[in-house]
Amino acid sequence: MSYPTEYKYTKEHEWIQVDGAVGAVGITDYAQNSLGDIVFVELPKVGDVLEAGKIFGSVESVKAVSDLFCPVSGTVTAVNDALVNAPETINSDANTTWILKLELADAGQVGGLLSAADYEAFIAEETGH
Amino acid sequence: MADATATLRKTALNGTHRIHKAKMVDFGGWDMPVEYSGLIAEHMAVRTGVGVFDVSHMGDIQLRGPGSLAAVNQLCMNDASKLAIGQAHYSAMLYPNGTFVDDVVVHKLSDNDYLIVINAGTREKDVQWVRSQIGHMSGVHVNDFSDYYTQLAIQGPKAAETLQKLTSTDLSTIKNYWFTWGTVCGLHNVMIARTGYTGEDGFEIYVPSDEATSARVWAEVLEAGAEFGIVPCGLGARNTLRLEAAMALYGHEISDTINVFEANLGRYAKLEKDSFVGKAALAEIQAGGGPKRKLIGLEMVDRGIARDGYPVATLDGTKVGEVTSGSPAPFLKKNIAMAYVPVELAVVDSELAVEIRGQLVKARVTALPFYKKPKKLV
């Protein structure tokens, strides 16, 4: 499993790729692997105002449903509609399959997120390896 | 760091599952594979080809002696006197109030020898129950053989062809819910039963539970099935397969608060038998006009996945019941569920709603099972 070093991560297993004032958000490779076959993604709407640490949607595998938590606050500028019909794209490529893009309310929040190395260390601790 | 799985029970194939990178979960105190290559792929392999499951966590109680038939018939609701040697049937052990201790498969090994296959999560409870109920009966001896067997379920339309390569026993002579003993992978007197929990044709074999033998048989089954695309399957696919086939799962569709008629299993309760634990309560329920609630099938009409425990409501939002099992159905490609609702609402083709995280999502009541395996013409 791989975790791009230019992304930032949450302990809830989301990643964010920041490009200027906009961030793209997805779930990590570890998350997709733990969930198994993903069959449903509940997306927010463009224009929704999201708050850091709050639930913005959900992702469902055959086995279970998991909430999605927003890494930082912001306003949704785009959602990945392709996931409605092809949610399994997240399984095949979690690192490039973004779920939503948002305009950051406070770019300073990004600094409080985990680096790839921190995130990997966090998973190692969680799984006991 | 302490091994979190240290306190979990393991089957003889635990090491094999780990070598094959199965995802492991705590299932009722057992460290079991939930999936290998992926739940959907495993599910589809069983519906269209063949898959193999380690189900060694299931328990096996033997009742032996001249009083064994009387004991089985007192403990279990179906009528074991109807079984021939080499035949098995679905049954259940009940509490006196007509609810479930467990559902079981009773195998008649000989006139004085029955093997009752029980669920993993209820093993200790079941064994204690059996001992407590027949302690006063004569001519019967109870053996807990649960740890003696590695039980493999080879399931799917290609299960017979797969297993046939590993045994000289002509599998075509074993009918559904019959069994025999044969040589499998060079092991003598292996019990080969045409049973399973997938809604598909298939076999369950009971081999000695030492690790080396278990791992060897597992590997040989995978090799024999390779040409049919066999995959090792985990409990995830086992659950979605049994749900499509509308087979009950203890703690979900059946439990110590649900009675036989509610669960639609009345056809297995033989009230004409002289006596069995739970009979009086069932007779009373029947005389009183039947159960007040019933197990139904639901198929989601609108987008949404019903999950275990979600409320079921009428379209106006009045809560009327609860989902017992719900999931996407990989073969049917629908979102399905089973649920208990008042009998007057158990009307096929009527509409109800499932409350999914605060929102009412429309569902249609459907006949069970959701899936029935195709019947061959000849």
Which domains does chain A possess? 9-107 (2.40.50.100)
Q: Is the pLDDT of residue A85 over 60?
A: yes
**pLDDT computed for residue B136 by the predictor:** 82
Whole-angstrom Cα distance, residue B221 to residue B201?
16
Find tokens 């009998």 and name the residue.
B343
Measure in Å the smallest separation between the Cα of A65 and chain B Cα atoms.
9
Which residue among A60, A62, A128 sits closest to B240, beta carbon to beta carbon? A62
> Phi/psi of residue B73, each to 5°?
-70, -25
Angle between helices B39-48 and B235-244 (to 10 degrees): 50
Angle between helices B123-134 and B68-75 (to 10 degrees): 120
Residue type, A51: E
Instruction: Give B-chain residues touching A37 at CB under 8 angstroms.
Output: 38-40, 330
* Strand pairing report for B334-342 and B319-329: antiparallel
**Ordered strands of the B88-94 beta sheet:** B88-94, B100-110, B113-118, B59-64, B141-144
CB contact set of A111 (below 8 Å; sequence gap of 6+): none
Determine whether the interchain pair B39/A37 forms a contact, defined as Cβ–Cβ distance below 8 Å: yes
- The encoded tokens of residue B59 equal 């328990």
Which residue among B4, B40, B307 sits closest to A37, beta carbon to beta carbon? B40
Residue type, B198: T
Determine whether the interchain pair A36/B1 forms a contact, defined as Cβ–Cβ distance below 8 Å: no
The per-residue b/e assignment along B208-240, b for 16 or more CB within 10 angstroms, e otherwise, is: ebeeebbbbbbeebbebbeebebbbbbbbbbbb
Question: For chain B, how long is the longest CA-to-CA vector?
Answer: 62
Tell me the DSSP string of B27-44: ETTEEEEEESS-HHHHHH
User: Percent of chain A, pLDDT > 70?
Assistant: 99
Instruction: Give B-chain residues touching A39 at CB under 8 angstroms.
Output: 305, 328
**pLDDT computed for residue A129 by the predictor:** 60
Torsion sign across C-alpha atoms B7, B8, B12, B15: negative
Instruction: Give B-chain residues touching A62 at CB under 8 angstroms.
Output: 39-40, 236, 240, 327-328, 330
Alpha helices (runs of H) in B33-93, residue ranges in sequence order: 39-48, 68-75
Q: What is the mean pLDDT of each run of 10 residues along chain B (378 residues)?
A: 71 96 92 96 98 97 97 98 98 98 98 97 95 91 96 98 98 98 98 98 98 98 98 98 98 98 98 97 97 98 96 98 98 98 98 96 98 82
CA-based angle B341:B346:B350, to the nearest 5? Answer: 115
Q: Cβ of A64 under 8 Å from any chain B Cβ?
A: yes
CB < 8 Å from B in window 22-61 of A: 34, 36-37, 39-40, 58, 60-61
DSSP state of B343: G
**pLDDT computed for residue B135 by the predictor:** 79
Q: Bridge-partner residues for B49, per DSSP?
A: none
The pLDDT-based confidence of A127 (bands split at 50, 70, 90) is confident
Q: In which element (H, E) is residue A91 found?
A: helix A89-92
Rg of chain A (C-alpha set): 14
Instruction: Give B-chain residues touching A63 at CB under 8 angstroms.
Output: 34, 39, 236, 327
Q: In which element (H, E) is residue A84 found?
A: helix A82-85
- Residue B308: CB atoms within 10 A of its CB come to 17
Domain residue spans of chain B: 292-366
pTM of the model: 0.94
Alpha helices (runs of H) in chain B, residue ranges in sequence order: 14-19, 39-48, 68-75, 123-134, 159-164, 211-225, 235-244, 279-287
**pLDDT computed for residue B378 by the predictor:** 61
Determine whether the interchain pair B328/A65 forms a contact, defined as Cβ–Cβ distance below 8 Å: no
For chain A, give me the number of helices (H) and strands (E)?
4, 9
Determine whether the interchain pair B357/A58 forms a contact, defined as Cβ–Cβ distance below 8 Å: yes
Measure in Å the smallest separation between the Cα of B38 and chain A Cα atoms.
6
**pLDDT computed for residue B1 by the predictor:** 42
Determine whether the interchain pair A40/B35 forms a contact, defined as Cβ–Cβ distance below 8 Å: no
Instruction: Give B-chain residues touching A128 at CB under 8 angstroms.
Output: 1-4
**Ordered strands of the B187-193 beta sheet:** B179-184, B187-193, B202-208, B149-155, B51-54, B231-233
Determine whether the interchain pair A37/B305 forms a contact, defined as Cβ–Cβ distance below 8 Å: no
* Strand pairing report for A65-69 and A38-42: unpaired
**pLDDT computed for residue B7 by the predictor:** 86
Which residue among B39, B303, B357 sits closest to A36, beta carbon to beta carbon? B39
Homologous superfamily, domain B292-366: Aminomethyltransferase beta-barrel domains (2.40.30.110)
**pLDDT computed for residue B4 by the predictor:** 59
Q: Cβ of A67 under 8 Å from any chain B Cβ?
A: no
Instruction: Give B-chain residues touching A57 at CB under 8 angstroms.
Output: none
Q: Is the pLDDT of residue A126 over 90?
A: no
